[in-house]
Amino acid sequence: MSSDSVNSVKQGDLALVVGATGFIGRHLVTALQQQGYRVRVYSRRDYAANVLSGVASVDWFSGALEDVDTLTKACTGVAAVFHLANIAHVNTPDEGALLRVNVEGTEAVCRACLGAGVSRLVYFSSSLASDPSRSSYAQSKRAAERLVLAAGKDEAAALHVSVLRPVNVYGAGMRGNIAGLIRRIVRGSIPPLPRLQNRLALISVADLCRAALAAAAGRQPSGKIYTIADGEAYTPNRLEAAVYEATGRKRPGWHSPRVIFYAAAAAAQLADRTGIWKNDLGLRTYHNLVTDQAGSSDGFANDFDFKPSQSLESELPRILCSLE
């Protein structure tokens, strides 16, 4: 039987979230429950009442991501698996950890899905996987994608797979460079940004979760890869202006010279490496801020008639509260 003919999941089915305790995972558990799914969690953490606060009770399995036996038990009776567990930091120096978690961990999840007869697997990759030459992180995500796609072609099974490549994800509890920039603008710990009109591709965590549920329940062919973005024309200066407006502060009427920002990033990187001042404001952060990052989810929109429901501006009040 072709994996394309596998029935899609529906309300009342049991869904397993691998990596539920992270930023996106917490939102996904809530979204699944709100749509009537029963939820099971697989985490390296033992269960604690405050780990997923504010959600209804869930089944909880604890174990290492590479533990195929425990993963297979967690997958038993599950209709759909949402795999989010990974090392998300693109600047991690530990390539061994990237291989172990992002690649070998994904291989274990695929084997567990095949062994337990799971119908659907939705893998959360990254838009960076489209260009593996950019970093070891991007390489690990592309390698993980290949494993997921191969599992969907297993002739002895009927596993339908979908790969989501989200761009920068925003929402309450967000992390990463964008969150750090917002926090510093709020605190006034950085000067006004230079004139920066390069594009920043973003997607709200709520819309990303909606996309994941649609992929699990849809009739699209198995093995499709989708970039997920909200299609808004964000720029660093638009983001900066939105933060000033959301906090009720007057935006400065001047811009810092770009060369000064570059020099400050280089100095911050040197201070971090020498231990003088630990920070994440180095040249990678600078390049992420000034590089054009276009992203389109036209393919997903065409398959699912998907329209984002949120923008950065609409979510900023909740984001600011979560950053306090």
Residue 321 CB burial class (10 angstroms; 0-12, 13-18, ≥19): exposed
Q: What distance in Å separates the CA atoms of residue 123 and residue 105, rounded to the nearest whole number?
A: 12
70 contacts 44 by C-beta, under 8 angstroms: no
Provide the token pair at 306. Answer: 């998907």
Average pLDDT, consecutive stretches of 10 residues, N- to C-terminus, the chain (324 residues) = 55 92 93 94 77 73 94 97 86 76 96 96 96 90 97 87 97 90 91 94 97 95 96 94 95 94 93 90 88 88 93 96 86
By the 10 Å C-beta count (0-12 exposed, 13-18 middle, 19+ buried), 178 is classed as buried
Contact 290, 235 (CB under 8 A): no
Query: Rounded to two decimals, what is the model's pTM?
Result: 0.92
What pLDDT is attached to residue 156?
74
Contacts of 40 (CB under 8 A, 6+ apart): 14, 15, 16, 17, 58, 59, 60, 61, 74, 78
Question: What's residue 295's pLDDT?
Answer: 83
Q: Rounded to an integer, what distance in angstroms lies between the CA atom of residue 60 and that of residue 17?
A: 10
- The pLDDT, as a whole number, for residue 259 is 95
Domains of the chain: 3-166 (3.40.50.720)
Tell me phi and psi for residue 172, to 5 degrees.
-60, 130
